């Protein structure tokens, strides 16, 4: 699901269910509704790329550039090797388009896996956040630097 911000709060909710929520300019915020594992990971990556294409077209029309994808991993308390590889591939695909992948709601076990297996990529502490709001604020600050 694509998430949007509820005005005046730190809350991010499913846009389809909450028309009062709004997209954050330059940032696509997505949350898989299931844990990432070997059977779902490839589909989730494809969904991210499909959302990205749609969002990129919309932002091109509004003349604002999409610079970040925030992926909320709140449903994933652990990752298998397939899910890890799919996330690493997603990061590389986005990076090739000059888009940063930031991860939010990342559990401790998954953080440790990222730091061990991909310390300069998924394990980069500047791109892992406890909340969606923290990720959005950091990515907005990062884009201004």
Closest to 101 (Cα-Cα) out of 33, 40, 37, 44: 44
Cβ–Cβ < 8 Å for 51, 30: yes
- pLDDT number for residue 88: 95
> For the whole model, what pTM was predicted?
0.88
CA distance 115 to 138: 19
* Of the listed ranges 41-45, 64-68, 70-74, 121-125, the one predicted with least confidence: 64-68
């Amino acid at each position: 699901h694509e998430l949007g911000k509820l005005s005046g709060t730190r809350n991010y909710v499913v846009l389809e269910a909450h028309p009062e929520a709004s997209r954050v300019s330059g940032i696509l915020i997505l949350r898989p509704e299931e844990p990432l594992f070997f059977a779902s990971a490839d589909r989730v990556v494809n969904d991210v790329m499909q959302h990205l294409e749609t969002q990129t077209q919309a932002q091109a029309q509004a003349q604002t550039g999409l610079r970040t994808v925030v992926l909320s991993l709140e449903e994933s308390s652990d990752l298998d090797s397939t899910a890890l590889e799919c996330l690493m591939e997603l990061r590389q695909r986005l990076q090739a388009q000059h888009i940063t992948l930031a991860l939010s709601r990342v559990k401790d076990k998954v953080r440790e896996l990222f730091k061990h297996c991909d310390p300069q990529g998924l394990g980069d502490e500047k791109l892992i956040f406890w909340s969606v709001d923290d990720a959005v604020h950091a990515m907005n600050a990062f884009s201004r630097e």
